[in-house]
Amino acid sequence: MTPEVTSKHRETPGSEHWKAAVIRDLREGYGVEDIALRMECDVQAVRDLVAYLRKHGVLPWLYQQARREWQSVGTLAARHPVKVPGLAMGPDLA
């Protein structure tokens, strides 16, 4: 039995659009509970997709790709820091 989604996007768990949205959120670093809340669906549906991705070897590849993207963004941010007026950024805040 597939749970229904009540979100404004009306994406049904298991649909191709829903799967793509879950994978996008995983790549962005969201956890299964956060994804379920964002998509207004049952957390078990998200867990089931993650289990399927893990079983078929997709999950490690997905995170390797995301890590490369995160590292390139982190390198860019280190080279071009954003300065926010009035916000102290020092080692004591780390």
Domain boundaries, the chain: 16-77
Nearest-angstrom CA–CA distance, 30 and 78:
23
* pLDDT confidence of residue 37: 95
pLDDT along the chain (94 residues), means of 10: 45 88 90 94 96 91 81 62 56 48
Ramachandran sector of residue 9 (left: φ over 0; alpha: ψ -120 to 50; beta: rest) = alpha
pTM for this predicted structure? 0.63
* pLDDT confidence of residue 49: 95
* pLDDT confidence of residue 4: 44
